Amino acid sequence: MARAKATPKKKKKALSPEERAKRNLQRRHRREIREVFSAVGFQRAEAASDKEFTYCGVTSDFDDVFILENVVVFVEYTTAHDISEHAKKKYLMYDRIRQDDAQFVAFARGTPLSIAGTLGTKYSDNQIRVILLYCSLNTVQTELKNQINHALFMDYSIVRYFKLLTRTVRRSAQHELLAFLGVNYKAFADKALNANASPRDPFHGSVLPEHHSKFPNGYKVVSFYIQPSALLSRAYVLRRDGWRDRGGLYQRMILRAKLDSIRKYLVDQKRVFVNNIIVTLPAGTKILDAEDNTINTKTIHNTLPAVISIPSEFNSVGIIDGQHRVFSYYEGGANEEVIGGLRSQQNLLVTGIIYPDNVSDSEKTRFEAGLFLEINSTQSNAKSELKQAINQLIRPFLADSIARDVLDKLNDGTGVLSGKFSQSFFDAGGLRTTSVVSYGLRPLVRPTAPGPLFARWMDSDKDTFVSFENDAARKRYIDYCASQIGVFFAAAKSRLPTDRWTTSRTIQNRLLTPTVVNGLIGAMRQALDAGVEMTFEKLHDQFAGLETFPFERYRSSQYTVMSTDLFKKFFAPTEAPKT
């Protein structure tokens, strides 16, 4: 009997270099996020990845599912530049899930998602915290995020932040990742099972009379000892490169080398550093005497022994000074067998500040930033970028601060400079802000009579808003400056090649460099002084021929020369011919 011929295998279609590059980018993006979740203890439900399902009449899938105790994270990845259509399709499924999280968990336990094996039965469906996480490689506009309000967006800068954080503090990054995901301490893991668990922990120390602290009225100062493990579970640091609202960030990223040095000291010496750590404590902190009565710090005249009763909450204790000493006790990595014991046995000396009940979040941030600057301003690493960020918080009416606020407005808006500036170390490829603020925007927006934009601003509070510190007027001025600069740059871009309007270093003669941006800002300043009308139509006409301007001839320090050449070529009034 003749043997049947084998069916020839279909040859895989060869991918083009562009397709291979796209696929590699998608794999890298996915791999980095998986590594972050794995590093802090999440398990990946492999059977649920890319598995199509239909739920409440909507068909969709998830790229990944991660599980830690009673937290289930359903993840979507995208590397597309325009994600609007993709995200809005996902919204249909997100909306169905959010109608009843527990019902969806029950569905996801079964086929085809089959997360039951990874999730287990320790927690009921109602005790599961469902997180819908959308991870885009490219910037997602705030407007779209607001529309897709059922999902949490993990921008790529945040991915890179957590990637570095997990490499430095390993599993101890878990607390901060859970805080980013919006998981409440009291609803996580075993706390979700025990409604009677203690909501706070006592730490022995002392309390200073209010009039001795020299801080504003109502601010309480305490010192106490706390185990590193208890502090790590509560601590947060307002790092400039982190995931929080950048309007309140000022501290530097944690340094691996410094962390390793302190950790080596702990292993070798097996004792704590003797200098204290400076923190702020949450509003629910109580100062008690030996009989558990609240101590009235206004009526005492001497430092007294006290029990500092601190709520058990993620991200509730703000570290102002000493983050490296705290995080040197991180969980995981080398010498964990030694550090693990020290993490629970040793005690760190902490000075804590408790705010009065009526202090706003912005006032707290300004106070912390000012205190941080006092402690660190004499250090050589207190660079101009740090000082700009802190002054933006504590001295918002300075020209530098207003310039930074204008830049933030341009970056967060919908104009031609949207998303073009690096707001953190992890915003790969964006324009760095310090030089644009100092050399470009500050002379343009300074809120004094010679300020070119200030001179044209028509507002009833114009002459007094700085001296009276009128914040509403300050915000109006920032809006005005951003709108005028946006029009100017939109007119310039309308005359320039679209492919060169990028910060990407892979594009030859790209136009979005600090030199070009500062050059255009300088030209705008001179045009304002010359009385040029700042409308898109007028500027578009004036910029005729801008596409042939030799931007590439100017070196990094020649933006002032460029600005003058731009002004002379496109805005300077032409002299009437002599008769």
Q: Which neighbouring-strand residues pair with 224?
A: 205, 350
328 and 257 fall within a common domain: yes
Residue that terminates a domain, selected from 187, 214, 235: 187
Residue 107 has a pLDDT of: 97
Residue 126 has a pLDDT of: 95
- Helix/strand/coil (H/E/C) assignment for every residue in 157-169: HHHHHHHHHHHHH
Tell me how far CA of residue 176 lies from CA of 207, 245, 311, 408, 423, in angstroms.
Answer: 29, 14, 17, 25, 20
3-state secondary structure of 235: strand
Tell me how far CA of residue 364 lies from CA of 284, 329, 340, 358, in angstroms.
Answer: 15, 27, 34, 10
Q: How many domains does the chain have?
A: 3
Q: What is the mean pLDDT of residues 15-44?
A: 92
Q: Which two tokens stand for residue 164?
A: 């570095």
Residue 11 located in a structural domain: no
Vertex 462: Cα angle to 461 and 463 (nearest 5): 100
The model scores a pTM over 0.85: no
Contact 411, 417 (CB under 8 A): yes
Q: What is the mean pLDDT of residues 296-311?
A: 90
Residue 357 has a pLDDT of: 85
List the domain range (segments joined by +) for residue 78: 18-187
Preceding peptide of 17 cis, ω within 30°: no
95 and 205 fall within a common domain: no
Range with lowest mean pLDDT among 131-140, 358-367, 380-389, 557-566: 380-389
Tell me the pLDDT tens digit for each residue of 421-450.
Answer: 886 655 556 788 888 998 999 999 999 877
Residue 3 located in a structural domain: no
Contact 495, 546 (CB under 8 A): yes
Q: What is the DSSP letter of 240?
A: T
Residue 8 located in a structural domain: no
* CATH code for the domain in which residue 59 is found: 3.40.1350
326 and 182 fall within a common domain: no
262 and 405 fall within a common domain: no
Q: Is the pLDDT of residue 380 over 50?
A: no
